[in-house]
Chains A and B, each alone.
Chain A
Amino acid sequence: MSLVPVNEPVVNPRAPFYRRLPVVSHFQKSVGLQRGMLVAGLILTAIFLLTACFAPLLAPYGYSQLSDADGNFPTQEAPGGKHLLGTTVGGYDVLSRVIWGAQTALFVIVVAVLMSVVIGVILGLVSGYIGGWLDRILVVIADAVYAFPSLLVAIVMAIVISGGQSSLIGGIFAAGTAITLVFIPQYFRVIRAETVRLKAEPFVESAKVVGASNTRIMTRHIYKNATRSLPLIFTLNASEAILILAGLGFLGFGIEPSSAAEWGYDLNKALADTTSGIWWTGLFPGVAIVLTVMGLTLVGESINDLNDPRLRGRKAAGATGGPDSSTAAQAAISADVRGI
């Protein structure tokens, strides 16, 4: 996704703490269509999070359950009756697999994004602050990895971590680490660029004069300032993480059905069903992926647009309307220049 360095929206610094939180402050600046997209995204994301957290309560059966008190589940049964969304060729309940899949996706997102944030931020800070040959080498490596198809990077990492064998217990961890390598360059680039810019700022110089150590300057002064654009990358990466996880699962690098439910794996198994007209095994996990990614992307896109004055909708733009909206955009830019 785009890696435009962004500025947090200018909010009144005296506003109460909760109003200055990233998403809340964006919500207050949004109008009309933009607010609708942000709200829709937040709702979809909330549904995803709640499903993931309460999967054990919501799912009628376990993710690897093949039978209940009445005996074995039928295979490839059409939706309806006891199995609301039908059963797969292996005899799993589709609804339960879809619900449990949200939990797997959330685990992987958390592992992948946390690890890449930590490693990417540290590398970015050190590289940008110290500079020199270390900086050069890291930038070249990060650029090379960044330019490469992310799915292939993840495949290579999945081979390394799970040795090509689908591991059982470490499945989530393996997938998360594979995705981490894809994301590190993104965090690295953003943080490094900010660090290089901030290094020349007077407050860093004054910290040096006062006698602060390099470590302290990096961890206190620069770190706090350089990480402002992270919420945006975070949401966009979370959605990309789901897509990569599903892609890995679809290619057979997913998590075994006996250890967790994973949407991509289910789609892989459903591929063979489509030719015989069996749609429910593929449709529902696919819709789950689409809705989750859409929710996260809507939130990320809205934040991105609201941070960019050229794209931010204004109340005035909504009122004047007409095909002449470029004038409104122009007005928005000049309004921003004047500092309104």
Chain B
Amino acid sequence: MTTLIDAPPSDADGILPASKKTSGGGLGQYILVRFLLIFPTIFILVTIVFFLMRITGDPITTAMGGRLPAEQLQERIQNAGYDRPILVQYFEYLGQLATGNFGRTLSDNRAVSEMLATYGSATLELSINALIIALLVGIPLGMIAAQRRDHAPDAVLRVFAILCYATPVFFAGMLLKLTFAVWLGWLPVAGRAKTSSELALTSLQAPTGIYWLDAVRSGNMAALGDVMAHAVLPAVALGLLTAGIFLRLVRTNVIGTLGKDYVEAGRSRGVSEFRLVTKHAYKPALIPIITVMGLQIAVMLGGAVLTEKTFEWKGLGFQLANYLTARDFVAVQGIVVLLAIIVAVTNFIVDIVAALIDPRVRY
């Protein structure tokens, strides 16, 4: 997934000696090198995004062009500093990013960092819910498919897995919405909560922004039920997308470990087939799954953008779609950069977890 490349020596020089004290060489050093690798990844993505977005011209002309008279447009460009050389702007942008300043959005003139904080928690909540669904569905079904390999259950589950992957998350969402919200009327159509519970939750002291967590903390059970009802359909739509991939992974890896000698030994000792799959074969099969989960985070974030648009879930993806329509590329750039950071950091965490579980990874 992530190839190990040399960390930039300038960064490494100051910190490397310190690691010698804390670690016996292997793990500590691996974590450090892997940590330092986050920065070039983010830096490259920020650079690519910045220059690509500027090829089309300055953001103000794109957002306001045709709606403002030429002189006013010129004045705004000058005020925002977009008429200076691109390299100057680039280094200024990097400097701002380092201090957490993402600029101000053009369409509704608010600080991008504040916008990211407000909507980021909604996306986080959606992703956590979806991940829970994906694991709950994917892992047991994958074990069943491996156990009943080449038989009817396996065939059905493999087609199900491909179906999960082949269905665009917004189409799955649309079908779920149509069935459970419009026709059966069991669940709400869209949004994160009713207006009343939303008001109750946002007026809390220091809200986390994750609604069910806030509802539990404040003991507001009515709001909790409401939030849960709203969360089901988006979580299932996004969760199924990833569940298919987990199912496939678990199946392949459990089949691999089921063929090992120690499983055969367990069987000869009279260990039940159920226990063989769920304990003996499953645990070693987890390692490759954890490494692949890092890439799934990226898939999930991409899917979250589409899910949020489908269910009007007011998170980063929903905002991204709005800002795209408004041609507000300062905001778009901010969201993309934040997602780049999230992806880089999760990949780091996943690699560390993999290294802790399996010492062979620390090369």
Chain A residues with CB under 8 A of B48: 141, 144-145, 156
A121-164 with Cβ < 8 A to chain B:
136, 139-141, 143-145, 147-152, 155-157, 159-160, 163-164
CB distance from B10 to the nearest CB of A (A): 16
- For residue A259, CB closer than 8 A to chain B, the reply is no
Chain A residues with CB under 8 A of B200: none
Q: Among A151, A252, A317, A328, point to the contact of B305 (Cβ < 8 A).
A: A151
Q: Among A33, A293, A301, point to the contact of B155 (Cβ < 8 A).
A: A33
Q: How far is the CA of A68 from the CA of B165 in the complex (A)?
A: 39
- How many of chain B's residues touch chain A, expressed as a range? 35 or more
Q: Is the CB of A310 within 8 A of B255?
A: yes
Whether A33 contacts B150 in the complex (CB less than 8 A), given A148-B298, A148-B343, A297-B165, comes out as: yes
Whether A286 contacts B329 in the complex (CB less than 8 A), given A152-B336, A297-B162, A311-B252, comes out as: no
Q: Among B55, B171, B177, point to the contact of A290 (Cβ < 8 A).
A: B171
CB 8 Å contact bits of A236-280 with B (1 = contact, 0 = none)? 000100010011001111000000000010010011001111010
Chain B residues with CB under 8 A of A311: 252, 255
Chain B residues with CB under 8 A of A148: 45, 298, 339-340, 343
- For residue A42, CB closer than 8 A to chain B, the reply is no
Among A86-94, A198-206, A222-230, A318-326, the one that faces the other chain is A318-326
Q: Is the CB of B55 within 8 A of A160?
A: yes
CB distance from B326 to the nearest CB of A (A): 10
CB 8 Å contact bits of B293-322 with A (1 = contact, 0 = none)? 011001101110110011000000000110
Chain A residues with CB under 8 A of B362: none
Q: Is the CB of A147 within 8 A of B344?
A: yes
Nearest opposing residue in chain A for B165, CB measure: A297
CB distance from B35 to the nearest CB of A (A): 16
CB distance from B299 to the nearest CB of A (A): 7
Nearest opposing residue in chain A for B189, CB measure: A275
Chain B residues with CB under 8 A of A140: 5, 40-41, 44
Chain B residues with CB under 8 A of A144: 40-41, 44-45, 48
B257-290 with Cβ < 8 A to chain A:
258-259, 263-264, 273
Interface residues of chain B: helix, strand, loop or mixed (majority) = helix
Q: Is the CB of B5 within 8 A of A151?
A: no
Nearest opposing residue in chain B for A239, CB measure: B166
Chain A residues with CB under 8 A of B320: 155
Q: How far is the CA of A247 from the CA of B321 in the complex (A)?
A: 11
CB 8 Å contact bits of B30-65 with A (1 = contact, 0 = none)? 000000000011001100110011011100001000
Q: Is the CB of A326 within 8 A of B150?
A: no
Q: Is the CB of A274 within 8 A of B347?
A: no
Nearest opposing residue in chain B for A40, CB measure: B159
Q: Is the CB of B168 within 8 A of A250?
A: yes
Nearest opposing residue in chain B for A292, CB measure: B166
Whether A274 contacts B53 in the complex (CB less than 8 A), given A149-B301, A298-B162, A313-B150, comes out as: no
Chain B residues with CB under 8 A of A264: 168
Chain B residues with CB under 8 A of A157: 52
Q: Is the CB of A330 within 8 A of B174?
A: no
Q: Among A150, A282, A325, point to the contact of B174 (Cβ < 8 A).
A: A282
CB 8 Å contact bits of B243-264 with A (1 = contact, 0 = none)? 0000000001001101100011
Chain B residues with CB under 8 A of A246: 168
Chain A residues with CB under 8 A of B57: 163
Whether A159 contacts B329 in the complex (CB less than 8 A), given A252-B324, A330-B259, comes out as: yes
- Given contact pairs A147-B1, A250-B168, a sample of 7 additional A-B residue pairs in the complex whose CB atoms are under 8 Å apart: A147-B41, A147-B295, A150-B299, A160-B55, A252-B321, A293-B167, A318-B150
A to B CB contacts below 8 Å, 7 in the list: A33-B150, A155-B324, A271-B310, A274-B177, A289-B166, A291-B166, A323-B147
Using a CB–CB cutoff of 8 Å, the interface residues on chain A facing chain B are 32-33, 36-37, 136, 139-141, 143-145, 147-152, 155-157, 159-160, 163-164, 239, 243, 246-247, 250-253, 264, 267, 270-271, 274-277, 279, 282-283, 286, 289-291, 293-294, 297-298, 301, 310-311, 313, 317-318, 321, 323, 325-330, 333
Using a CB–CB cutoff of 8 Å, the interface residues on chain B facing chain A are 1-3, 5-6, 40-41, 44-45, 48-49, 52-53, 55-57, 62, 147-151, 154-155, 158-159, 162-163, 165-168, 170-171, 174-175, 177-178, 182-183, 189-190, 252, 255-256, 258-259, 263-264, 273, 294-295, 298-299, 301-303, 305-306, 309-310, 320-321, 324-325, 327, 329, 332, 336, 339-340, 343-344, 347
